[in-house]
Amino acid sequence: AQSVTQLGSHVSVSEGALVLLRCNYSSSVPPYLFWYVQYPNQGLQLLLKYTSAATLVKGINGFEAEFKKSETSFHLTKPSAHMSDAAEYFCAVSAWDGGATNKLIFGTGTLLAVQP
């Protein structure tokens, strides 16, 4: 069965500093991985997804993530944090194992605070 683990429920960075949000996965099949962002009282917005085409995935708002099979990781990074990046970030893995499903399994989330 697939699962994801997000290390660090709260991360605080200064504006302009590097953002690094950690995600490790477990999957019995080659995984499809996603990062979503959630602003207060909003739904989830897709930042980027890994679908095996390339190990370094670029997303919206300057975010990117690198798939590392040897480390079973899919960490999210952004070179320079902006105040508007303050939100909760969720890593997710598809529950697909050859059947017909769009079910996603989410990590527990990381709340990112950006200090001025």
Interface with another protein includes 22 (CB under 8 A)? no
User: Which x/- pattern over 29-68 shows residues binding another protein (rule: CB under 8 A)?
Assistant: ---x-x-x----xxxxxx--x-x-----------------
Interface with another protein includes 90 (CB under 8 A)? yes
Interface with another protein includes 20 (CB under 8 A)? no
- Give phi and psi for 93, each to the nearest 5: -125, 145
Interface with another protein includes 106 (CB under 8 A)? yes
Residues in contact with another protein by the rule CB under 8 A:
32, 34, 36, 41-46, 49, 51, 90, 94-96, 100-109
